[in-house]
């Protein structure tokens, strides 16, 4: 998904006018608040600004904004207890697939989403992989390695081999406390080409290879769990390099003026999706909101607040060209990206997480 540059000025005003002029949804009852669950920080803030506040102004619908750290555990507990509290959840696609298979989410009719401005049906306007049985995609993002430019001397690091090189670039490293993406990066650091990484991980030998590579830096790793942690770890000097979500780094680098740099070469490209929980208390209101929030204009407006790319082709015309170089899909950023294998992790996440936890405990 590559966007062309457009002459786009007065972005917020133009997009707000476009959003308010959609005429997709009539006024709804504000008696029940939609429980909207996402990842917090600058990402949730972007969703509030681009979707929730305009929709609230248009319809009067109110929301409860809830933060979580991903996964299915909390949702599974609610469904099994017949006490569902959450309506809309922002999820990784592999968790959306697993949750769908478990019957945690409703199946979605993708013909209900707003067409593109030129009338193209939504099912043709969303990029490949953005629509699943129980999910509708919203943004593309990347997990990337980054470093503090004031702490690194000599040649700038550009690869996961550099990230692993504690002699050339001394200092602690930050990694998310999960096997996902870390296994891929370990193989990348060990010289496995991108197009062979998932075939390698599909074997016991490949899994052992990834764990062996992780073992090399294990003693120097600070493990993080919430997206706000890596930029703070860099700012505090707790680590010299860390992996992080690109949107969190964008906020730190360009809004807070932190001296960080992203290594785009080893980025792992991914998407996020919306699901509606089975038997949620405000299901109809939730679906009405998603019709608004997944429009081309609303998805494009998100980029005014965070450097994550929309998943509709027609959104390109509404994206501020100033933000394009900071998106994961910008040509210079995307040329060596590894696309996260949703199906691999949907099938193997539980087993590899168990093995990862056991490895951590050693």
Coil vs helix vs strand at 2: coil
Nearest CA among 191, 241, 243, 194 for reference residue 212? 191
What pLDDT does residue 325 have?
Answer: 87
Spatial separation of the C-alpha atoms in residues 63 and 41, rounded to whole Å: 17
- Residue ranges of domains in the chain, CATH in brackets: 11-140+271-334 (3.40.190.10), 141-269+337-361 (3.40.190.10)
What pLDDT does residue 107 have?
Answer: 98
What pLDDT does residue 330 have?
Answer: 84
What pLDDT does residue 11 have?
Answer: 28
What pLDDT does residue 18 have?
Answer: 30
Spatial separation of the C-alpha atoms in residues 160 and 38, rounded to whole Å: 29
The C-alpha angle with vertex 271 and arms to 346 and 310, in degrees rounded to 5, equals 155
pLDDT tens series, the chain, 362 aa: 333 333 322 223 223 323 223 333 333 444 489 999 999 988 999 999 999 999 999 999 999 999 998 999 999 999 999 999 999 999 999 999 999 999 999 999 999 999 999 999 999 999 888 999 999 999 999 999 999 999 998 999 999 999 999 999 999 999 999 999 999 999 999 999 999 999 999 999 999 999 999 999 999 999 999 999 999 999 999 999 999 999 899 989 988 999 999 999 999 999 999 999 999 999 999 999 999 999 999 999 999 999 898 999 999 889 888 888 888 888 889 889 999 998 899 899 999 999 999 999 99
135-to-40, 59, 90 alpha-carbon distances in Å? 20, 24, 9
Please, is 73 exposed, middle or buried when counting C-beta atoms within 10 Å of its C-beta (0-12, 13-18, 19+)? exposed
| Overall pTM > 0.85 | no
Give strand pairing partners of 194: none
Coil vs helix vs strand at 38: strand
Spatial separation of the C-alpha atoms in residues 314 and 301, rounded to whole Å: 12
């Amino acid at each position: 998904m590559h966007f062309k540059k457009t002459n786009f000025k007065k972005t917020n005003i133009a997009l707000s006018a476009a959003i308010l002029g959609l005429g997709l949804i009539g006024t709804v009852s504000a008696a029940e608040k939609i429980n909207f669950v996402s990842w917090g920080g600058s990402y949730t803030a972007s969703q509030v600004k681009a979707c929730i506040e305009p929709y609230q102004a248009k319809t009067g619908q109110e929301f409860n904004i809830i933060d979580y750290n991903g996964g299915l555990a909390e949702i599974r507990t609610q469904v099994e207890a017949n006490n569902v509290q959450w309506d809309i959840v922002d999820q990784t696609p592999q968790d959306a697939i697993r949750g769908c298979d478990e019957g945690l989410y409703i199946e979605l009719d993708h013909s209900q989403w707003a067409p593109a401005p030129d009338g193209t049906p939504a099912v043709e306007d969303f990029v490949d992989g953005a629509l699943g049985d129980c999910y509708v995609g919203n943004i593309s993002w990347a997990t990337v390695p980054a470093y503090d430019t004031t702490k690194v001397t000599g040649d700038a690091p550009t690869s996961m081999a550099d990230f692993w090189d504690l002699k050339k670039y001394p200092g602690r490293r930050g990694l998310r406390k999960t096997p996902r993406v870390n296994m891929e990066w370990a193989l990348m650091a060990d010289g496995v080409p991108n197009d062979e990484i998932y075939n390698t991980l599909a074997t016991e030998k490949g899994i052992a290879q990834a764990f062996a590579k992780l073992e090399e830096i294990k003693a120097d790793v600070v493990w993080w769990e919430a997206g706000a942690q890596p930029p703070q770890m860099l700012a505090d000097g707790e680590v010299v390099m860390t992996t992080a979500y690109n949107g969190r780094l964008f906020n730190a680098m360009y809004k807070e003026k932190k001296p960080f740099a992203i290594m785009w070469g080893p980025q792992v490209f991914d998407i996020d999706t919306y699901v509606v929980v089975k038997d949620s208390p405000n299901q109809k209101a939730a679906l009405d909101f998603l019709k608004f929030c997944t429009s081309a204009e609303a998805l494009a407006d998100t980029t005014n607040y965070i450097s994550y790319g929309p998943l509709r082709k027609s959104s390109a015309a509404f994206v501020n060209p100033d933000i394009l170089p900071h998106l994961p899909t910008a040509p210079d950023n995307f040329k060596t990206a590894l696309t996260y294998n949703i199906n691999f992790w949907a099938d193997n996440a539980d087993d590899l997480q168990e093995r990862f936890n056991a490895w951590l405990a050693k």
